[in-house]
Structure 1
Amino acid sequence: MTVARTPYPRLRRVATGWVDGLQRIGTQAEFYGKTLRFSGDAVVHYRTELARLIAQMSLGTGALAIIGGTVVIVGFLTLSSGAVIAVQGYNQFAEIGVEALTGFSSAYFNVRLIAPLIAAIGLAATIGAGATAQIGAMRINEEIDALEVIGVRSIAYLASTRVLAGVIVVIPLYCVAVLMSFLAARVGTTVFYGQSTGVYDHYFNTFLNPTDLIWSFAQAVVMAVLIMLVHTYYGFTASGGPAGVGEAVGRAVRTSLITATFVSMFVTLAVYGQSGNFNLSG
């Protein structure tokens, strides 16, 4: 008996892969649109859940609340990055005799690159991963189906509230991140390397542009929205038991970090790609 073979099997597999990929993108886009569209319903009907999520995301629950939750975690991350700016900036500038410009490196790199990316990493690893795990556990335990049966809009209740809470939390969170990065760079340069505080403050204030802070803050808010959208989607579509939830968390973290990197790159190119936007007047 002769079995008929499909002509061009490799081309068929490639085409099937492309179609499946486009379908997944369409499914994600539909979920993201519903999540953003139901944000108003989340504020009106699920205010208690929104307040609970804000407290949980910012200060943590259980044992995590002892150290302050996400605020302290992101603060320590940016503190360490600011210390690296002090160490590397001072030593590199000292090799060419312009170590006074360490204040410039703090005002320039912390605001434009380091603080937004470090804050995004902290959000993805703490708030985002937790949201994926929580929603994924509810999915495999059929709790989401139970919510829909009793008339609760699952996307608004679980996804939209978390996106709104992430945006609200990132506002003070990013302020803490920027201040900690500035403080670590200043203390490292003036205390440990002995540079004059007047010299450091002069060059820091000379090159610190308030417009850069506004763009950096807007960039952090956009990152928070995208990170929470990605993590809630992977939680909603988790399957395969506890192992499937763990896999969903890993995929969500990977996707959100890539997304945050692309946002940082596009914002940097759009805002600073033409002129650099240097502030040279003290």
Structure 2
Amino acid sequence: MTSARPSTRFGRLARAAENFARSWNTVGMQMAFYTRTLAEIRNAFIHYKLEVVRLVAQMSLGTGAMAVIGGTVVIIGFLTLSAGAIIAVQGYNSLAGIGVEALTGFISVYANVRIIAPVVAGIGLAATIGAGATAQLGAMRISEEIDALEVMGIRSIAYLASTRVAAGVFVVIPLYCIAVIASFFAARIGTTFGYGQSTGVYDHYFNTFLRSTDLIWSFFQAVVIGIVVMLVHTYYGFTASGGPVGVGEAVGRAVRTSLIAAAFVSVIITLSVYGQSGNFDLSG
């Protein structure tokens, strides 16, 4: 058995180094695109206000068949209703096993505000609005519509990417509010009507641990997740290539990357705000 020749080993090292450098170049191009997109938001509001309004209407209520069922708003509502119902089922049963099922209201506040509402809003934004934005921009890229806009002197990033990021931030605000209300409603109905817990007991622990500062930080978390999700999806759509197949691949990569980024942002903000202790005292 002969060992590999030096030229072969050097060739493998060169290819590995080239792949490593290419991956970091891709990261650098993404960061440059994100920075420019955020910087162009001012121009988007100045020159393309009507486009921002149109995108907000399209993202929130949808178009065509999506408008019949209410678009993304209804989808997020059903997602968080399911999540709140799971909190009622799992929380009540788990706490009943140790005799403290009265604390189900606390579990509802803790899980829904800090985790479920902002993360579900981000997931819904990525799976519906974000994926649609990537497909739209990718189709424009492969049909050379973006090049035509640049030839006409239109700021392509401001008109296509910055407007969508701004509209996504506007849309995530009502989405978050709907997510919080739906999750609270589902958890309360499931606990009081489904398991027969007294509404007074549930409301006591719910109101005791519900803090306005937690809601503010949760809202901030949802807005940051919305910005990150829209930045990722606009980048993959803006740089799509390879025809219709390439657009489909770009949508898949964008959804995967945005979901990972949303989870990462949620972890970072939660640890930064609440720390390891959770920033609450439970005693009695």
What TM-score do you get using the length of structure 1 for normalisation?
A: 0.96
CA contact (8 A) 1:207 1:280 kept: no
Would the aligned equivalents of 1:136 and 1:235 in 2 still touch at CA under 8 Å?
yes
1:74 counterpart letter in structure 2: I
2:91 to 89, 92, 95: 89
Residue 110 of structure 1: aligned partner? 112
CA contact (8 A) 1:140 1:239 kept: yes
User: In 1, Cα distance between the equivalents of 2:8 and 2:111?
Assistant: 56
2:134 to 128, 132, 135: 132
Q: Where in structure 1 are there 5+ consecutive unaligned residues? A: none
CA contact (8 A) 1:133 1:246 kept: yes
Q: Percent of aligned positions with the same letter in both sequences?
A: 72
Aligned to 1:141: 143
CA distance in 1, matches of 2:236, 2:161: 11
Cα distance in 1 between the residues matched to 2:85 and 2:35: 40
User: For residue 220 of structure 2, what is the amino acid of its counterpart?
Assistant: A
Unaligned runs of 5+ in 2: 1-5
State the one-letter code of the partner of 2:171.
V
8 Å contact kept, 1:129–1:252: yes
Task: Please give the residue correspondences for 1:120-269 in structure 2 after superposition, counting only pairs within 5 Å.
Answer: 120-269=122-271
- Decide whether aligned partners of structure 1 residues 57 and 279 sit closer, same or farther in structure 2, where only a CA change above 3 A counts: farther
Query: 2:30 pairs with 28, 31, 35, which one?
Result: 28
CA–CA distance in structure 2, aligned partners of residues 280 and 151 of structure 1: 61
- Where 1:162 maps in the other structure, the secondary structure is helix
SS of structure 2 residue aligned to 1:181: helix
> In 2, Cα distance between the equivalents of 1:90 and 1:39?
46
The one-character-per-residue Cα deviations of 1:18-46 (angstroms, maximum 9, x if unpaired) are: 10011101111111111011101100100
Q: Offset at 1:97? A: 1.2
Question: What SS is found at the alignment partner of 1:61?
Answer: coil
Residues 206 and 279 in structure 1, CA contact (< 8 A), matched pair in contact too: no
- TM-score, normalised via structure 2 length: 0.95
Q: Which amino acid in structure 1 is aligned with residue 272 of structure 2?
A: A
Q: Which SS does the other structure have where 1:5 is aligned? A: helix
Q: Which residue of structure 2 aligns with residue 54 of structure 1?
A: 56
Please state how far the C-alpha of 1:5 moved relative to its aligned partner. Answer: 3.5
Match of 1:65 in 2: 67
Runs of 4 or more consecutive aligned structure 1 residues displaced over 2 Å after TM superposition: 4-7
- State how far apart, in whole Å, the 1-side matches of 2:152 and 2:222 are: 36
* Structure 1 counterpart of 2:116, one-letter code: I
For the aligned residues, what is the CA RMSD? 1.5
Question: What SS does the aligned partner of 2:7 have?
Answer: coil
1:39 maps to amino acid: I
Asked if 1:273 corresponds to 2:259, the answer is no
- How far apart in 2 are the matches of 1:190 and 1:277? 27
Inter-partner Cα distance in structure 1 for 2:39 and 2:27? 18
Measure the CA separation in 1 of the matches of 2:30 and 2:161.
13
In structure 2, the residue corresponding to 1:244 is in which secondary structure? helix
* C-alpha separation in 1, matches of 2:141 and 2:113: 39
Kindly state the Cα deviation for residue 253 of structure 1 after the two structures are TM-superposed: 0.2
Aligned residues: 279
Shift of 1:6: 5.7
User: What per-residue deviation string (whole Å, max 9, x for no partner) do you get for residues 183-233 of structure 1?
Assistant: 000000011111111000001111112111111100000000010000000
Residue aligned with 2:241, SS:
coil
Query: 1:227-265 deviations in whole A, cap 9, x for unaligned?
Result: 000000000111111111000000000000000010011
Query: Helix, strand or coil for the counterpart of 2:153?
Result: coil
Equivalent pair of 1:139/1:238 in contact (CA under 8 Å):
yes
Q: CA deviation at 1:111?
A: 0.7
